[in-house]
Amino acid sequence: AQSVAQPEDQVNVAEGNPLTVKCTYSVSGNPYLFWYVQYPNRGLQFLLKYITGDNLVKGSYGFEAEFNKSQTSFHLKKPSALVSDSALYFCAVRDIYSSASKIIFGSGTRLSIRP
Amino acid sequence: KAGVTQTPRYLIKTRGQQVTLSCSPISGHRSVSWYQQTPGQGLQFLFEYFSETQRNKGNFPGRFSGRQFSNSRSEMNVSTLELGDSALYLCASARLAGGTDTQYFGPGTRLTVL
């Protein structure tokens, strides 16, 4: 069965510092990994995805994520945090060889950036 | 290009009633998926439609149903509403079903059951 774990409910970072939001996954085949962000009273916004190839994926708003197959991780990173990055972040996974579009989401990590 | 739109944005219903939510996908997208988001259960997959056919279904009771029209617009129906159905219902569209396509989400419909 596919699953995603986000071990931290909340991450607090000072503005200007680097940030990392952790994600580990479990799938039966090759993973197709996503990060989405949710602002208050909004739907989910797509940040980036990993399908295959380069382990470092660059996405929207200066975010990037590193795929690590041996550690089954896909951590989200940003070199310098902004107050406007404060939001709820979701890691998600799908088996790319499945015909289903169903995405399994992690429980979410609330990112709080202090000025 | 317009994004995924969902109507209505907010709904208040009472127990026992039924409700229909609507989702219009991004132009050219033929796959529509529905998710329920609650504080306790997080984001859970409801079902997916592609070319007017339900392809996958999550672990929800039969009170939850949906359909897709020939123009790819989708509706979700919940009958005999329960208090626990209060949630944010999110719709997502993709060009195709499965594979490597990205799902893009709408703003959601906030359903409150009293």
pLDDT digits (tens, 9 = 90+) for B44-62: 999 999 999 998 888 999 9
Lowest mean pLDDT among A42-46, B23-27, B88-92: A42-46
Residues 6+ apart with CB under 8 A from B106: A43, B3, B4, B5, B6, B23, B90, B91, B92, B93
Q: What pLDDT, on a 0 to 100 scale, did the predictor assign at position A115?
A: 95
Predicted confidence (pLDDT) at residue A96 exceeds the cutoff of 70: no
Cα A4 to Cα A13, A34, B65, distances in angstroms: 23, 11, 26
Cross-chain residue pair A49–B102, CB shorter than 8 Å = yes
Q: What pLDDT, on a 0 to 100 scale, did the predictor assign at position A97?
A: 63
Smallest Cβ–Cβ distance between B102 and the set A46, A104, A108 belongs to A46
Convert the pLDDT of each residue in B74-109 to its tens digit.
999 999 999 999 999 999 999 977 767 889 999 999
Q: In chain B, whose CA is at the least distance from the CA of A105?
A: B43
Cα separation, B83 vs A45, whole angstroms:
28
What is the average pLDDT across A17-37? 92
Q: What is the mean pLDDT of chain B?
A: 94
Region for A84 from its dihedrals, namely left if φ exceeds 0, alpha if ψ lies in -120 to 50, beta otherwise: alpha
| Closest Cα in chain A, distance from residue B84 (Å) | 19
Cα separation, A109 vs A23, whole angstroms:
9
Q: In chain B, whose CA is at the least distance from the CA of A43?
A: B107
Cross-chain residue pair B101–A90, CB shorter than 8 Å = no
